[in-house]
Amino acid sequence: MPDIAPGSKVLALGHYQPANVVTNDDLAKTIDTNDEWIQSRVGIKERRIAPDGESVEDMAAIAGGKALAASGLSPDDIDLVIVATCTLETQIPNAAAVVAHRMGINSPGAFDVNAACAGFCYALGTANAAVRAGAARNALVIGAEKLSQWIDWTDRSTAVIFADGAGAAVVGPSDTPGIGPVVWGSSGDKADAISIKDRNDHLYQEGQTVFRWATTALHPVALEACSRAGVDPAELAAFVPHQANLRIIESIARKLGADKAVIARDIVTAGNTSAASIPLALSRMLERGEVRSGDLALVLGFGAGLTYAGQVIEIP
Ligand code: UT7
């Protein structure tokens, strides 16, 4: 069957961050770390941490509400809600149905995607396919995470990195494709490199294994996403990779050769918010005027699994 819509595009973005700012100096009061190490090794100056009682679903609903308002659509226009997250407090119910109900979206298809830090790009690829195929008129895609509830706050190898937040995108039909083909994949042989061993445990990461993989295996994925969209990296106005580590971001950006692109460095003030990091960064860049409507951006997620996904999109 032919696609119903010739393309889909991101119609609007929205984001939410908890109010509570935690600086590197704040962390150095309770664990053996310091501002110089964190900034030079990871690139983070400060991050936002949600208080007890503020959930993944709460943050997702606020970011989703902002994206929906900016799109000019009403809740009744949304047929599909996808929440990319790996940090729910409990496994059941899923976040998407709860978030949709809170937003007044009536009976949409609603499911969560757990592809960790690649989750938003997986969800965006799925929403693109659903809208083009006629399975949804419009879709709401949200990345939302509360990493803080899965972190051992005495473990300096993870406590300084991860943070909380949410970002969202409304996806609707378009006469020309505004979301390029997704390039996605996984390396399950390295599944143990980032994991939570059991329900009473905390997030564990073999930092150097992931670092080596991210700085060697991902630029070909970035280049393939550009090639499949028919876009030369030199044409990109923005490169928005998962905000894992500033050194990883800059390494991939160099190899990509996106010489004119603004590189997302949202990690500096937002930390690593896993599936939320890409829509959060992009929405904040748009808000600050660093990118403009109609610009082309490459988004690239990667993380636990190990999983990765990326595509070129037109900025709403
Ligand atoms: O988002 C999901 C995907 N995740 C990633 O992409 C993460 C990829 N990995 C990384 O970003 C980096 O590996 C980390 C930021 C996690 C760690 O940076 P690193 O440069 O690989 O540091 P390291 O683990 O090799 O540690 C270097 C030194 C060690 O001390 P010695 O053994 O050299 O004396 C650590 O004990 O730094 C020490 N260290 C710290 N020192 C101060 C480790 N954590 C800290 C800390 N503060 N927070």
Q: State the CATH number of the domain containing residue 196.
A: 3.40.47.10
- Hey, which residues are catalytic here? 117, 242, 272
Whether residue 1 lies inside any domain: the answer is no
Find the 41 Cα to ligand 1 centroid distance in Å: 7
Domain boundary (136, 157, 174) is at 174
Q: Which atom of ligand 1 is nearest to the CA of 272?
A: 1
Coil, strand or helix: which one is 163? coil
207 and 165 part of one domain: no
Domain boundary (174, 191, 220) is at 174
145 and 194 part of one domain: no
CA-to-CA separations, 161 to 42, 47, 123, 130, 272, in angstroms, rounded = 7, 9, 24, 34, 6
Domain count along the chain? 2
| pLDDT of res. 109 | 98
**What tokens were used for 311?**
């595509």
Whether residue 236 lies inside any domain: the answer is yes
Return the amino acid letter for 138. Answer: N
Structural domain for 152, as ranges? 7-174
17 and 144 part of one domain: yes
Q: What is the mean pLDDT of each run of 10 residues along the chain (316 residues)?
A: 86 98 98 98 98 98 98 98 97 97 97 98 98 96 98 97 98 96 98 94 96 98 98 97 98 95 98 98 97 97 98 98
| pLDDT of res. 182 | 98
| pLDDT of res. 1 | 66
155 and 13 part of one domain: yes
196 and 165 part of one domain: no
Picking from 182, 167, 225, 209, the residue whose alpha carbon sits closest to that of residue 304 is 209
135: which residues sit within 8 A by CB, 6+ positions away? 79, 80, 109, 129
H-assigned helices in 15-118: 24-28, 35-41, 56-71, 95-102
275 and 254 part of one domain: yes
Query: What is the residue with the minimal CA distance to atom 35 of ligand 1?
Result: 157
| pLDDT of res. 4 | 86
143 and 38 part of one domain: yes
Find the 207 Cα to ligand 1 centroid distance in Å: 6
E strand intervals along 105-234: 109-113, 139-146, 164-174, 183-186, 194-196, 203-205
170 and 138 part of one domain: yes
| pLDDT of res. 216 | 97
Ligand 1 proximal residues by C-beta, below 6 Å: 33, 37, 41-42, 117, 156-157, 160-161, 194, 207-208, 210-211, 214, 244-245, 248, 272, 274, 303
Find the 130 Cα to ligand 1 centroid distance in Å: 40
Find the 110 Cα to ligand 1 centroid distance in Å: 37
This model's pTM is above 0.95? yes
Q: Which atom of ligand 1 is nearest to the CA of 208?
A: 13
What single-letter DSSP state applies at residue 162?
B
Tell the residue number behind the tokens 């937040």, with chain if given.
165
Whether residue 23 lies inside any domain: the answer is yes
| pLDDT of res. 3 | 76
| pLDDT of res. 5 | 86
